[in-house]
Amino acid sequence: MVESNSQLDKKDYLSLALLFTLSFFLFADQNLMGPNLSQIADEFGFNDIQRDVKLGGEISLVFWLIGGIFTLFFGYFTDIASRKKLLIISMLFGEIPCFLTGFVETYEQFFWLRALTGIGIGAIIPITYSLLADYFPSNMRSAATGYLGLVVGLGIGGGQLLAGITGPEYGWKISFIIVSVPNFIFLLLYALFATEPPRGKSDKNKTDLTKINYSIIKKLISKKTNILVFLQGIAGTVPWSVFFVYLTDYLAQDIGYSVQMASLVVFVIGLSAMIGGFVGGLVGNKLYNINPIYQPLLSGVCTFIGMIPTAFLINLNPVSTGASVTYPLILGVFSGFFITITAPNMKAVLMNVNQSNTRGMAFSIYNLADGLGRGFGPFIISFFILQFGRQWGFNLANGIWFFCGISILLMMKTYSKDQI
């Protein structure tokens, strides 16, 4: 096991606080569409089919595809350039289009601004986790990513709830302005006061800052654990992206809850996911210190458990107006909690099997894999929805988590061997 005497000073704590705050608002933007999908469709003159294919499928595809392409670009420079400067650039790429979305008048404007926002989401992943790996040693990284997951989950759930509350009363555009404006202020504070940790600060074995070349990339993808992390990322993000795009609108339009109550259910899923990611990071840390293979064991088992309440949630029967949301809320709590126990542990695994001078590229490939799942998932599932209905498409998406769980459990055979 890799030990380290890495310690955080006051400047490190301030830098981390600002980094986490920026991540909160950036990821709040990620799912603002979902609660008001039908309202957006009405403004652009779309019917139900166009709503699901264009807003649910096409925009998700271009958002994550462009994000995935730029994550490779930023991942490369993360390993050789100032991560603080790169983070500032990526945040501007994410937040300026988000702010301008509040003033769109056509679908074409909306489409391309969402695509540009994807650059910020795609770029921030390799930068953030490269920084975390240098702030924290291997035996603390699951907890560190758990804390970040807590913040990101709160941002995603908070964004959903904000859009659900403000959309019916003030229109769907206002939420894009509300979540983007604060980040311009926090980004200025980050630029003025944040510091970047030395590369490899928390690693036992230091590595030189070298340019990425073919041999390093070949070595990176030759590790079976890396490949399994990437594969579980593709399978694991398909259901999440499908549910966060469609679930609020599905619960409101197909099941019969109000938009506000449907948004509350999705917010609770995000909130429980936030708690699950936090708890998963802490428990994963404990298990890692006992035996590293317990980390993927925990993640794989919890993925399978989380599929069960999700199946009940997406197969609800239609309800009458004003019906209680207690039952879907309970299902959402267990679904979000168990599924996201995986997230901090997979990121910690990726940190622990890659050297400091290749982590940016490792996380860029990881984010590209996630982007493929998040982008192509809703796009492909939208065509199944078109043919067989939303409920059938949701069940297919939920079933894909099975392949995610299998990929994670296979890491039990490779993880110890691949650790640096």
CA angle at residue 14 from 193 to 366, to 5 degrees? Answer: 100
- The residue-averaged pLDDT of 226-245 equals 89
| Contact (Cβ atoms closer than 8 angstroms) between residue 197 and residue 84 | no
pLDDT in tens, 199-226: 766 655 555 444 555 666 777 778 899 9
Choose the weakest-confidence range: 186-195, 224-233, 293-302, 358-367. 358-367
Is there a domain that residue 1 lies in?
no
For residue 27, give the nearest of 145, 151, 123 by alpha carbon.
151
Residue 251 has pLDDT above 80, yes or no: yes
Is there a domain that residue 208 lies in?
no
Is there a domain that residue 387 lies in?
yes
pLDDT of residue 10: 85
Percent of the chain with pLDDT over 90: 38
What H or E segment, with its residue span, contains residue 320?
A: none
Amino acid at position 207, single letter: T
* pLDDT band, very low/low/confident/very high, at 97 (cuts 50, 70, 90): very high
Residue 2 has pLDDT above 50, yes or no: no
pLDDT of residue 35: 82
Is there a domain that residue 203 lies in?
no
Burial class (CB in 10 A: 0-12, 13-18, 19+), 189: middle
Residue-range definition of the domain harbouring residue 332: 10-195+213-418
| Contact (Cβ atoms closer than 8 angstroms) between residue 60 and residue 377 | yes
Give the span between the Cα atoms of 333 and 81, in whole angstroms. Answer: 41
pLDDT of residue 208: 47
Burial class (CB in 10 A: 0-12, 13-18, 19+), 149: buried
What are φ and ψ of residue 341, in 5° steps?
-60, -30
- The residue-averaged pLDDT of 393-409 equals 94
Give the span between the Cα atoms of 258 and 264, in whole angstroms. Answer: 10
pLDDT in tens, 325-369: 889 999 999 999 999 999 889 988 998 888 877 777 788 888 788
Is there a domain that residue 221 lies in?
yes
Taking all residues of the chain, what is their mean pLDDT, rounded to a whole number? 86
For residue 68, give the nearest of 29, 118, 22, 25 by alpha carbon.
118
How many residues are listed for the chain in this entry?
Answer: 420
| Domain count across the chain | 1
Residue 1 has pLDDT above 50, yes or no: no
pLDDT of residue 5: 45
Is there a domain that residue 347 lies in?
yes
Percent of the chain with pLDDT over 70: 94
Q: What is the pTM of this model?
A: 0.72
The alpha carbon of 180 is separated from its chain's Cα centroid by a whole number of angstroms, namely 18
For residue 297, give the nearest of 411, 190, 138, 183 by alpha carbon.
411
Give the span between the Cα atoms of 343 and 313, in whole angstroms. Answer: 21
Is there a domain that residue 204 lies in?
no
Is there a domain that residue 283 lies in?
yes
Q: What CATH number is attached to the domain comprising 353?
A: 1.20.1250.20
